[in-house]
A and B are shown apart, each in its own frame.
Chain A
Amino acid sequence: MPCSRSRLSFISASAILGLCLLMSGAEVKAEDDVVFMASVDKNEVGLNETISLIISVKAPQNVSDRNLKRPKTGTLKISSVRTEENVSFSFSGGSQSFSKIQKFVYILSPTKLGKTQIGAARLKFKGKTYTTEPIDIEVVKARPLPKRRRPTRLSPFGSSSGLFPDDDWDSLLRRRDPRRRPTEIKEGDIFVNATATPDVVMQGQQVTATIRIYSKIGARIASIRWPKLDGFFSVDRDVSKVKVDQKYINGELYQYKVLDRKALFPLQPGEISLGPVEVEVEVSSSPFFPSQVRRLRTRPIKIKVMDLPAENRPKSFQEANVGQYTLSANVDDNDVSLNQPVTYTLKLRGTGNIQRVRPPELPELPRFKTFDPTVDVQVSKRGRDVTGSKVFEYILVPLASGELTIPALEFSFYDPKQGIYRTLNIEPKNIKVAASKDDSVANGARSGHEVNILAGAFKPIRYKSTLRGYGSAFYKHSSFLPILVAPPILYIMILIVSLLRARGRVDSVRRRMRRAWARSQRRLKKAGQLAAENHATDFFAELKAALMDGIEARTGLVSQGLTLDDLLTQMEESGIPNQLTDAVRAETENCDFGRFAPADSRGDQMQTSLERVRQIIKKLEKERLRPAEVNE
């Protein structure tokens, strides 16, 4: 049972304290008063519950259980028995006295419903008999068991359960006994005190705020309430291992203990007031009387925070970097292959606000792929000063082969103890990166030759360039469209001209034929007039010309420059029947004869010749040829 163990430790501590006091030669006097009492934690008990009967004996010396006669318990059955001891000291007028308290705790279980009674217990001590009062108990039906309340705060005296723990003994003490008046507790019997060291600090420097309780009486800490810590970054300190001590104050001996401690880091310069800390305690002047709740307050504390000096402040200094620090960096592997990650670890150790301190940031590394670092912060919980470490782990993936460098880093902080700024430097780290695992630098090292990596090179700039030849795209140029449409337009124009030319050629033949026809008609008419006037020579000349024009008008063949045979051959080739060509030949020869022998020609013969030529021309018209055929 943890409560019992803690109580025993308190008893032993008290015994040692008593022994120390005895050895110091102080006047110690045992109290002669004997207090003998019996009590229960409840008068009504369910069938499924137990009841604690506590018989307490306060006497100046040990009481043997043989001198104690236990009471009759009626229908209650004794389940277990245990004993506890306690030694109390009192200081009065420079003399000290002590007494011993023995408790006999009986756990009783009801066996039957209804009323019963715990009888009187008897104690024989130094020839006197002491008796307790009987206690009435009512046993009721079984009921749900209530939950046990856990202790809320530590006792100032080093016991985790406190002087008045929530067990049956504690409950017994809290019961108000109307037959007894509690001893008065003075204001100076218990008080709390707050200190802040140092109270003049630089911005970011640690201030240690400690709450201590001083007491001459038993007490149990219910709660500690800190004021708002605006303007501070606070870090809780563990004071569970701090032991109880004692101290004379104004001639009176107090036991005292550190209740709580915080490390405060002021965030801005100026005068900052730390308001009162409230401590709620349950106190009792005697274990036999019920406890009282007291609310204790510390006095406010003023802390003066000075600004960090501007003189000699390094450029790399960050506001939160106040304290004493060391910085180290290392790379887990200096010889890697391309894309093989390496871990760059930056470790900051020291005293100060380790959670806020900002180590140097790794600059952008264009030849590495970097990831956000993992940050591990370790802060010590014990001790006045906040110490710890902050470790940044960067994963870097080399993206180029060759010798890559992680640049130097600089870290500055203000050392409040020395009152100066300090700067720490991290040397650059070189990493040899091979193009592949096969080309690893290790291979080079094995053969003893330097390896020259020639892979993944970044292409250099174009040093010489005329910056010409790449104007805006040609399709945006004003000449793009003309050049695009010119060829088809040119081709279409040529096509049109060709067609026009062909048509023009056909038209000229037809026009010539039309003119020849008109000419033929005119000549025939004139020939008729010449025949009437009997001009034979002129008549036959005109008649032959009319025949030739007629041939040209109807066939398109031009007789000019051709012999008669050639003309007739062309006519035959053009499909003119032989009968007609023969007629043309005969009439042409007749006209030639008439021209050169006009005396033989009479008027009726000329009329007959005229009529034959007309018939020939008419027949030629029926054999009309197409101009194209004529042309081609």
Chain B
Amino acid sequence: MKVLVAKLTCLSILLVVATVRADSREPDSFEQNLLAHFDRANQLYLDGDYQNAVSRYRKVVEAGIEHPDLFFNLANAYYRSGSIGLAVLFYEKSLQMDPADEAAKSNLAIVRKELIDRVVMPEGGTVGEPMWHGFIRGLSIGWLTWTFFIFYLLAFAVMIGRRLTLSQSLNRLLFWVNIPLLSLSLVFGALLASRIYIQEKIHHGVVVSNTAALREGPERVAKVLMEVHAGLKVRLLNEVGDFTRVRLANGVEGFVASQQVGGI
């Protein structure tokens, strides 16, 4: 019996270690090449050549690298080169990966002051994203995952320990220890599940072209409801042909040409 428990425990540990090792391996030549692009882009940015800095950063992004530092620098370069919509988009991407990034929050606030559109909320409250969505979205998915797993694994470890111990006093002690561990793992499990749900099911985007027509239907001849401008954050509902159905924070819905909106 003890041998079996030891084997299962070892298997779990091996899985975690393998995951960690996958992230901590030495960079290969491909990664080194991308890092060189990133460093070169940084230098171009510092030299004031923002357009070329943008193209270098984009190469790294197109190679599949997703990192808040990369998105943050790219957003800065877009902002400096006058592309406010794309700057907002990449600040949002950076914050999605690291919601606690104060620098990205600060710069995004500065850029938002320059936006043209001001969404007017309807009388009697908001109809847009519920409050709890905002709260959940503000939690890092990585931090939630690891916090949940710590409490979850500890809770099960204590439960298994209780089964194996012969000492009545130790058994009783482990019982009381297990109650908060199980509660916390349940709470963090629920938060993690909500965060994954929002991540997977509720998509947002940013208007990236200077002006875009919000139309009644997914056709170019459809009546224009209003004109929206670069940097406006919208919720992406579904895609119909070349158009994307979007919803503004005040509940107004319409269709925008898909190429004029960037998904966060």
| Residues of A participating in the B interface, judged by any CB pair closer than 8 Å | 364, 366, 369, 399-400, 456, 458-463, 465-475, 477, 479, 482-484, 486-491, 493-495, 497-498, 501
Contact = CB atoms under 8 A, between A and B. Distances in A.
B113 A474 contact: no
B42 A467 contact: no
B45 A490 contact: no
A494 B114 contact: no
Given A467-B70, A490-B156, 14 more contacts: A366-B84, A462-B73, A467-B67, A470-B68, A473-B141, A473-B142, A473-B199, A474-B145, A479-B15, A479-B18, A489-B8, A490-B12, A494-B1, A494-B5
* Shortest beta-carbon contacts, A-B, top 7: A487-B156, A465-B69, A459-B103, A462-B69, A461-B73, A490-B8, A467-B67
A498 to B, nearest CB: 6
B163 A491 contact: yes
A17 to B, nearest CB: 66
B250 interface: no
Contacts of B104: 459
B55 interface: no
A479 B19 contact: yes
Interface in B32-71: 34-35, 38, 42, 45-46, 60, 65-70
Interface in B74-100: 76-77, 79-80, 82, 84, 97-98
A494 B163 contact: yes
A493 B103 contact: no
B76 A460 contact: yes
B214 to A, nearest CB: 20
Interface in B142-162: 142, 145-146, 149, 152-153, 155-157, 159-160
A470 B156 contact: no
A456 B110 contact: yes
A364 B142 CA distance: 39
B160 to A, nearest CB: 5
B113 A369 contact: yes
A463 B42 contact: yes
B107 interface: yes
B4 A479 contact: no
B164 A494 contact: yes
Contacts of B152: 484, 487
B9 interface: yes
Contacts of B141: 473, 475
Nearest to B9: A490
Given A366-B114, A483-B12, A459 B66 contact: no
Nearest to B199: A473
Contacts of B80: 366
Most buried by A among B19, B60, B97, B196: B19
A470 B114 CA distance: 30
Nearest to A463: B42
B211 interface: no
A588 B110 CA distance: 102
A116 B126 CA distance: 89
A471 B145 contact: no
Interface of B: 1, 4-5, 8-9, 11-12, 15-16, 18-19, 23, 27, 31, 34-35, 38, 42, 45-46, 60, 65-70, 72-73, 76-77, 79-80, 82, 84, 97-98, 103-104, 106-107, 110, 113-114, 141-142, 145-146, 149, 152-153, 155-157, 159-160, 163-164, 192, 196, 199
Contacts of A459: 76, 103-104, 106-107
A549 B192 CA distance: 64
B196 A461 contact: no
A400 B110 contact: yes
A461 B1 CA distance: 56
Contacts of B98: 470
A458 B107 contact: yes
Nearest to A400: B110
A75 to B, nearest CB: 74
Nearest to B84: A366
Residue of A456, A465, A466, A488 with most chain B CB atoms under a 10 A cut-off = A465
Contact of B97 (A466, A470, A495): A470
A501 B114 contact: no
B35 A487 contact: no
B164 A482 contact: no
B72 A462 contact: yes
B34 A483 contact: no
Contact of B15 (A466, A486, A488): A486
A532 B149 CA distance: 78
Contacts of A469: 23, 67
Given A467-B67, A467-B69, A487-B152, A479 B16 contact: yes
Contact of B12 (A461, A466, A487): A487
B4 A493 contact: yes
A495 B159 CA distance: 10
Given A461-B42, A475-B145, A490-B156, A399 B12 contact: no
A400 B109 CA distance: 12
A400 B107 CA distance: 11
B9 A399 contact: no
A354 B8 CA distance: 87
Nearest to B79: A366
A583 B166 CA distance: 40
Quick one: which of B16, B77, B114, B149 has the most chain A CB within 10 A? B114
Nearest to A495: B163
A474 B192 CA distance: 11
Contacts of B106: 459
Contacts of B113: 369, 399
B35 A399 contact: no
A486 B8 CA distance: 8
A369 B111 CA distance: 10
Contacts of A472: 66
A1 B38 CA distance: 88
Nearest to B196: A475
A467 B38 contact: yes
Contacts of B157: 487
A20 B164 CA distance: 137
Contacts of A495: 163
Nearest to B14: A479
A483 B23 contact: no
B85 to A, nearest CB: 13
A461 B42 CA distance: 8
A479 to B, nearest CB: 5
Contact of A474 (B60, B67, B142): B142
A353 B242 CA distance: 44
Contact of B160 (A369, A474, A491, A501): A491
B110 A501 contact: no
14 contacts: A364-B82, A366-B79, A399-B114, A461-B46, A467-B31, A467-B35, A467-B38, A467-B69, A471-B66, A473-B199, A475-B192, A490-B5, A493-B8, A498-B1
Contacts of A489: 8
B65 A467 contact: yes
